[in-house]
Amino acid sequence: MSRIAYVNGQYVPVSKAMVHIEDRGYQFADGIYEVCTVVNGRYWDMEGHLARLDRSLRELQMDAPMDHAALRVVMKEVVRRNRLKNALVYMQVTRGVAPRNHAFPPEGTPPSLVITARRFNLNRGDALAESGVSVISHPDIRWGRVDIKTVGLLPNALAKQAASEAGAYEAFLVRDGYVTECSSSNAWIVDESGALVTHPKGNTILGGITRQTAIACAEELQIKVIERPFTLEEAKAAPEAFLTSATSFVTPVTAIDGVRIGSGKPGPVARRLREAYKARAARG
């Protein structure tokens, strides 16, 4: 079966799905996106993803392509047409199509909306989580508003490529000696007291929806969470480190730049958090 995508009002096979060459997403990365999951036929963390979508649109003065109820209907239809029960849904909104000009197009230019879905398995990251992953450090060369989830991801792609070439899973992005986040996930450490430490929200990280839910899980488990910057050195000396994202959930990090973290095996705190997170996702 060919995969089906939603493109500006139509459901089309992915092989036939096209966007205009003067789409501002294509020419200026003038677009935003969300990636979320459907678990056992139910949206997971959708409120958070839609709230962040609205925030991204607002911050960029971009029109919403449709309201939440309509978006949910289209997402559901894309998932249904692809015959998926567990899915990874990708949703992208751009400022639309207009003759190339840096300034915004005339008011009323319709935004472009693309939604795709592909198979997702709740347990797909389990093997990686069992073994733990290695990461490299990489300079954070991104712009000053990475809290907006834009499709301008070239620095992130370069960091992920560097990680991949080094045989690592992710890159811890470092600005002024501090780890901000990763190329497509948020970065965490566990301190000597067993508390979780992660960079505070602001303009220098993307406020991950999984980060938010992981904080709620930690509260449930009565694990303290401290939102403060931490250095790369501190991360390398930490008893545990891990990363979070909608696709990797909570994934333990067992080496940074070849330096073993803790025992070099996934630590107990990250394991407990991953279990709690997965249980929540399964409950929906």
Ligand X SMILES: Cc1ncc(COP(=O)(O)O)c(C=O)c1O
CB of 188 to ligand X, least distance (A): 11
Q: Which helix (H) or strand (E) segment is 216 a member of? A: helix 209-220
Residue 16 a catalytic site member: no
> Of 149, 160, 236, 278, which one is the catalytic site residue?
149
Nearest to 122, CA basis, from 273, 242, 277: 277
* Residue closer to ligand X (CB basis): 89 or 209: 209
Q: Does 186 bind ligand X (CB under 6 A)?
A: yes
CA distance 85 to 40: 5
Nearer to ligand X, 211 or 236 (CB): 211
Please tell me what DSSP assigns to residue 177. T
- In eight-state DSSP terms, residue 83 is T
| Pattern 53-92, ligand X, x by CB under 6 A | ----------------------------------------
Distance CA 257, CA 267 (A): 18
Separation CA 188–CA 256 (nearest Å): 12
Among 112, 245, 251, 254, binds ligand X (CB under 6 A): 245
Does 184 bind ligand X (CB under 6 A)? Our answer is: yes
Using an 8 Å Cβ cutoff, are 117 and 88 in contact?
yes
Structure tokens belonging to residue 121: 């398995």
15, two tokens = 């092989």
* DSSP, residue by residue, 58-75: HHTT---SS-HHHHHHHH
Return the number of other C-beta atoms located less than 10 Å from residue 118's C-beta. 13
Min dist CB 166 to ligand X, Å, is 19
- Of 27 and 247, the one with the shorter C-beta distance to ligand X is 247
Structure tokens at 65: 């392509």
What mask, x for binding ligand X by CB under 6 A, covers residues 192 to 211? Answer: --------------x-xxxx
- Interface stretch with ligand X, choices 53-61, 85-93, 163-171, 244-252 (CB under 6 A): 244-252
Binding segment for ligand X (CB under 6 A), chosen from 8-16, 132-140, 215-223, 240-248, is 240-248
Q: How far is the CB of 134 from ligand X (least distance, A)?
A: 18
Query: Phi and psi dihedrals of 119, rounded to 5?
Result: -60, 145
Question: For the window 20-49, what string marks contact with ligand X as x by the rule CB under 6 A?
Answer: ---------------x--------------
The footprint of ligand X on this chain (CB under 6 A) covers a number of residues equal to 14
**Paired residues of 193 in beta bridges:** none
Taking the complex as a whole, how short is the minimal distance between the CB of residue 237 and ligand X, in angstroms? 23
Give Dmax over CA atoms of the chain in angstroms: 58
Q: Which residue ranges make up the site for ligand X (CB under 6 A)?
A: 35, 156, 181, 184-186, 206, 208-211, 244-246
Residues classed as catalytic: 149
